[in-house]
Amino acid sequence: MLSEWLHYATRLFHLIAGIMWIGTSFYFVWLDYAFVPPGEKKDGVVGETFMVHGGFFYRVEKQQPTVMPKVLHWFKYEALLTWVSGMFLLGLVYWAGGAGALLGRATFPMTQWTAIGLSVGSLVVAWLVYDLLWRFVGAKLPAVALVLSLALLAGAIVGYCLVFPGRAAFIHVGAMLGTVMIANVWMRILPNQRRMIAASLEGKEPDWARGA
């Protein structure tokens, strides 16, 4: 009974955190495309948009500020909580209890520790390959990096399906994409944002290329 409630609570938490993460991601993607040049010139303002929701009107500005505001809201913990709860759930379902849910693929028989090793190792390798690809190829040839990324994703899907049973294979595709995304947020995006903020706090012009 306790195990069932733990599974249920973790799944519910993971679902809610994922909705928050993907929801804010889609919102900011839309927002970036919705900005238009400001109607009146303001220091640091590079775009603005107007919205209506819940009976109120909102004016949102996109800025490149040289002075940081006193309160700055970060959107990073949604991603972290989604990944942490997902990894915990992955451990509960697929790593605990002898990794039975990872076994059973007759074409690739393996021990429980081999299965767990492939499960964890594939997530680490996925991030390293993605990061190296976009750092060295994507920086100069983003279209080529995109094609290679899609080809590698297709290869990973086939590989998972050859090694793990169906449900485990597709869950691992999601875990792989989530791991790549969270690592990109915490190891690439956030450090660049912190450097831009630090430059502003020191009275310097931030390197806005870091945002791109």
Percentage of the chain exceeding pLDDT 70: 99
Tell me what pLDDT residue 87 has.
95
Mean of pLDDT values over 2-17:
91
Who contacts 90 (Cβ-Cβ below 8 Å, separation ≥6)? 119, 171, 175
DSSP for 141-158, written as a single string: -HHHHHHHHHHHHHHHHH
Q: What is the pLDDT of residues 53-77, one digit of tens each?
A: 989 999 999 988 777 788 888 888 9
Residue 38 has pLDDT above 90, yes or no: no
Pairing of strands 56-63, 45-53: antiparallel
- Pull the structure tokens for residue 17: 């955190």
Taking the CB of residue 172, how many other CB atoms lie within 10 A of it? 26
**C-alpha closest to that of 60 among 34, 23, 78, 42:** 34
Residue type present at position 190: L
Interval 17-46 mean pLDDT = 89
Amino acid, res. 34: A
What single-letter DSSP state applies at residue 45?
Answer: E
Contact 111, 96 (CB under 8 A): no
pLDDT higher at 79 or 72? 79
* 93-129 pLDDT tens trace: 898 877 888 887 767 788 889 999 999 999 999 999 9
pLDDT at 106: 64
The pLDDT, as a whole number, for residue 205 is 78
More confidently predicted of 97 and 88: 88
At 10, which amino acid appears? T
The values of phi and psi at residue 53, to 5°, are: -165, 135
- Overall average pLDDT of the 119-148 stretch: 95
- Per-residue pLDDT band for 7 (boundaries 50, 70, 90) equals confident
Tokens representing 59 are 């004016």
Mean pLDDT of 21-30: 93
- Residue 21 has a pLDDT of 93
Quick: pLDDT tens for 154-212.
999 999 999 998 899 999 999 999 999 999 999 998 898 888 888 878 877 777 777 77
> What 3-state DSSP class applies to 171?
helix
173 CB contacts (<8 Å, ≥6 apart)? 156, 157, 160
